[in-house]
A and B are shown apart, each in its own frame.
Chain A
């Protein structure tokens, strides 16, 4: 990829020297991290390491006190709000699966489609073939075709996780931030999810936060370990998991 005019980095996501504190507590401390286009990155780290806060910063929910957050090499994410960042092409799956429980699975995906999101557009919206085909495809990918008319609230925990990943797919972002996608899943489901993410990664850049080391190992991608709001170690799963500090603060002996 050629470096474009005005770009400062080839990375799709570029964090440098980011600080955030809440009432004196340093949640993120001089955090620097880059994600190349097409990459999949696994983020691990103990509770309170700042993983979710980092996602909050990238998606505009939390404003950093200082530091640079660039998307696609030129867009300063700290100046944008959640809506604008989502429109840019950053999708996020929450730690706790968050779907629209009182609406059908199909409607959940319909809401997620990256079509006209304006008030006028939705008020006078009429479905079209292209949209329903896209929804059908996503339904197939997340294996919920038969349940399309069920209320999302009636799904099992694992299915909700998948529905939320499905919503990410419908959103068709450039970058997917996936927070603990396999929490509460069976081994089989975990395995399927890893395969799904690898498939998604063929077209998109993905950042996965996960505690499940088997799952991370299965992804087989570069791993970053966060601790106390800063990067503790980075490298292949084997490099990171043999790092003394990582073992001490996170993995345990």
Chain B
């Protein structure tokens, strides 16, 4: 029996969806594999030549034929087609694959070719063909030499629980050596059996066990989609599996929320920690604090620009270079602000608030003038991009690094306050400014350095935030209110309060979000803080005593 080529049922395929195509292609591959038809030179080459016709329906036929050919070149050809690297010479009707490494081969023979003929043009696709290509690749990749591709293909079968893939899966499973891929194939197989009408009850019960062990959202969707026309035993097993997956998923979603909360908390802490210093030690409300963060982010941008144009090899170190620079830039500007404006306004906190707000407008507009009003591109170094899976949740490296970075900054700062002379002086000034002054501490120098320190930390916060947020002149604005909330909630003059405040707000926000939605969650948090301030006007960890009110 000759393999039915997909074009025999083209009329249906035209209107069919992706899954139908996958089914057709898988069936074809399966039959090819089952009958072990050797790669016939004739039909394969004929099919290849059809790519040169520059006709969409011919291309469609060619895709189908190549997909079922079992030829080892089939995968490179179809994926080249998908990425626009397949070209054809209409005169010689030869077709060429340009590899992603730039090497060119003849598609029909696999022979290397020096260069493309002059009149060779890329084989064109339309949307319908793109779906055909994807379907073809899905089938081909179950047998792909790359384990990652096999796993992805198995996942796709798991979702589609396409019966026709069963044989391919079985044979793939038999020779699979990669552990993860094996599990993926087993799950795919279970999914198929679960939906296969003539599978035995035992097979189905076993399948449920496998799907239950997988325990994610898709496993749940698979089980809930099972319907009612199944044997009662199977239905019962499915129901209990659903319940177990549900509780499992609930647990993981808690973990996920907690992680998101920690991540948000670390961002809040990073943004607020400098403020905790300037507000806590000096009682200065610096509304331009967000702009210090923004300056740090723009410093990162400038560092990356220089690296990109001069020393591209150093790109992975760009953030390491940007951190001290951002600290210096923002810190120096902070000292200037303190000496130029704030020191004339001590004892007039409300005026300080207004003056620094004005300053924030000036800084924003200055950056807008220099760098333009639009977002600037700040790249992730390789070690900050990507993600890894932990159970059912995905953890991105940039978020993880930012959390670590924040904690590191926090610990360094804490150590600095505790063990350095400047730290001692700062704490003295926080607790009793007048007494500190009379003990011979140059409070005005401490003020300038403290403000510089707070601003510098805001600057390095900017480096981190440039990795997850848009670098625009408005960057600081979006953090200022949140930062103030953290400091006010945590209590002034206490870094631990800021830490607890930031993580509490971060986690609370993320746990409220799924219930109330992102915006309502945020509103709820703001309202809760406003109410909290009524209960504890000086925050969670406030200093007590007469000195505070002096």
Please list the residues of chain A having a beta carbon within 8 angstroms of any beta carbon in chain B.
22-23, 25, 27, 52-53, 56
Contact = CB atoms under 8 A, between A and B. Distances in A.
B543 A53 contact: no
A108 B543 CA distance: 33
Interface in B120-135: none
Contacts of A53: 546
A27 B547 CA distance: 12
Nearest to A61: B549
B544 A52 contact: no
Nearest to B548: A22
Interface in B277-326: none
Given A23-B544, A53-B546, 9 more contacts: A22-B544, A22-B545, A22-B546, A23-B543, A23-B545, A25-B545, A27-B545, A52-B546, A56-B546
A25 to B, nearest CB: 7
A197 to B, nearest CB: 25
Interface in B500-550: 543-546
A165 B546 CA distance: 23
A56 B548 CA distance: 14
A22 B542 CA distance: 11
Contacts of B546: 22, 52-53, 56
Contacts of B543: 23
B53 to A, nearest CB: 86
11 contacts: A22-B544, A22-B545, A22-B546, A23-B543, A23-B544, A23-B545, A25-B545, A27-B545, A52-B546, A53-B546, A56-B546
Interface of B: 543-546
Contacts of B544: 22-23
Nearest to B543: A23
A53 B543 CA distance: 16
A52 B545 CA distance: 12
A25 B543 CA distance: 12
Nearest to B545: A22
B392 to A, nearest CB: 45
Contacts of A27: 545
Contacts of B545: 22-23, 25, 27
B538 to A, nearest CB: 12
Contacts of A23: 543-545
Nearest to B547: A22
A23 B546 CA distance: 11
A52 B546 CA distance: 10
A215 to B, nearest CB: 24
A25 B431 CA distance: 14
A56 B546 CA distance: 10
Q: Rank and list the top 3 A-B pairs by shortest CB-CB distance, nearest first.
A: A22-B545, A22-B544, A23-B544
A35 B545 CA distance: 26
Nearest to A96: B550
Contacts of A56: 546
Contacts of A52: 546
A188 B436 CA distance: 35
A65 to B, nearest CB: 11
Contacts of A22: 544-546
A45 to B, nearest CB: 16
B541 to A, nearest CB: 11
A52 B549 CA distance: 13
B430 to A, nearest CB: 13
Nearest to B549: A61
A25 B544 CA distance: 10
B540 to A, nearest CB: 14
A53 B355 CA distance: 36
B47 to A, nearest CB: 84
Nearest to A25: B545
B481 to A, nearest CB: 30
A22 B538 CA distance: 15
Nearest to B550: A96
Nearest to A23: B544
A25 B545 CA distance: 9
B475 to A, nearest CB: 38
A167 to B, nearest CB: 21
A42 to B, nearest CB: 22
A20 to B, nearest CB: 10
Of the candidates A22, A25, A52, A53, the one having the most CB atoms from chain B within 10 angstroms of its own CB is A22
A53 B545 CA distance: 9
A22 B432 CA distance: 14
A27 B545 CA distance: 9
A212 to B, nearest CB: 22
A101 to B, nearest CB: 14
A74 to B, nearest CB: 29
A147 B546 CA distance: 34
Nearest to A24: B544
A231 B546 CA distance: 21
B313 to A, nearest CB: 54
A205 B98 CA distance: 104
A81 to B, nearest CB: 14
Nearest to A22: B545
A22 B546 CA distance: 9
